[in-house]
Amino acid sequence: MTSVLFSPLDLGPVRVPNRIAIAPMCQYSATDGCATDWHLQLVMNYAMSGAATVILEATGVTREGRISHGCLGLYSDACEYALGRVLHAARAVALPGTKFGIQLAHAGRKASTHVNWMGSGPLRAGESPWRTIAPSPLPYGENWHVPTELDDAEINATIDAFAQATRRAVRLGFDIIEVHAAHGYLIHEFHSPIANKRTDKWGGDAERRLRFPMAVAEAVRAEAPRGVALGARITGTDYLDDGLKVEDAVRMATEFKKRDYDFICVSSGNIVLGGRPASGVAFNVPNAARVRAEAGIVTRTAGLIAEPRQAEEIVATRGVDQIAIARAQIDDPRWGWRAAEKLGVKLELPPQMRRVTTGQWAGLQLVRPQG
Catalytic residue annotation: 185
Helix axes 37-47, 77-93, angle to 10 degrees: 30
Return the residue of 12, 17, 24, 122 that touches ligand FMN, per CB under 6 A. 24
Site residues for ligand FMN, 337-356, by CB under 6 A, read: none
H or E segment and range at residue 20: strand 20-22
The closest alpha carbon to 29, from 117, 152, 155, 133, belongs to 117
User: Is 327 among the residues that bind ligand FMN (CB under 6 A)?
Assistant: yes
Using CA atoms, how far residue 240 sits from 235, 236, 237, 291, in Å, is: 12, 12, 8, 19
- Nearest approach in angstroms of CB 57 to ligand FMN is 4
132 binds ligand FMN, rule: CB under 6 A: no
Residue 12 identity (one-letter amino acid): G
Helix or strand holding residue 251 (H, E): helix 246-258
Considering only residues 44-63, where is the footprint of ligand FMN by CB under 6 A?
57-58
99 touches 112 (CB < 8 A)? no
Residue 57 or 64: the one with the smaller Cβ distance to ligand FMN is 57
Tell me the site size for ligand FMN, rule CB under 6 A.
20
CB-based contact 188:179 (threshold 8 Å)? no
Using the minimum distance from each CB to ligand FMN, give the nearer residue, 53 or 203. 53
Stretch that binds ligand FMN, among 309-317, 320-328, 337-345, 359-367 (CB under 6 A): 320-328
Can residue 328 be called a binding residue for ligand FMN (CB under 6 A)? yes
In the complex with ligand FMN, which residue's Cβ is closer, 225 or 277? 277
Q: How many CB atoms lie within 10 A of CB 89?
A: 16
304 touches ligand FMN by CB under 6 A: yes
CB neighbour burial string for 31-50, b if at least 16 within 10 angstroms, e if fewer: eebbbbeebbebbbbbbbbb
Q: Which of 180, 211, 251, 292 binds ligand FMN (CB under 6 A)?
A: 180
Which of 26, 74, 104, 339 forms a contact with ligand FMN (CB under 6 A)? 26
Residue 4: Cβ-neighbour burial (10 angstroms; 0-12, 13-18, 19+): middle
Cα separation, 306 vs 311, whole angstroms = 7
Q: For residue 302, state whether it binds ligand FMN (rule: CB under 6 A).
A: yes
When the beta carbons of 188 and 221 are compared against ligand FMN, the nearer one is 188
Question: Of 294 and 307, which has the nearer Cβ to ligand FMN?
Answer: 307
Determine the interface stretch with ligand FMN among 235-243, 244-252, 286-294, 299-307 (rule: CB under 6 A).
299-307
Single out the segment in contact with ligand FMN by CB under 6 A; choices: 91-99, 144-152, 192-200, 326-334. Answer: 326-334
- Secondary structure class of 345 (helix, strand, coil): coil
Q: Is 23 in the site for ligand FMN (CB under 6 A)?
A: yes
Q: CB of 191 within 8 A of CB of 210?
A: yes
Task: Decide if residue 42 touches ligand FMN (CB under 6 A).
Answer: no
**DSSP secondary structure string, 50-115?**
S-SEEEEEEEESSSTTSSBTTS-B-SSHHHHHHHHHHHHHHHHHPPTT-EEEEEEE--GGG-SB--
Stretch that binds ligand FMN, among 24-32, 41-49, 336-344, 349-357 (CB under 6 A): 24-32
Interface residues toward ligand FMN, by CB under 6 A: 23-26, 57-58, 103, 180, 182-183, 233, 267, 302-305, 325-328
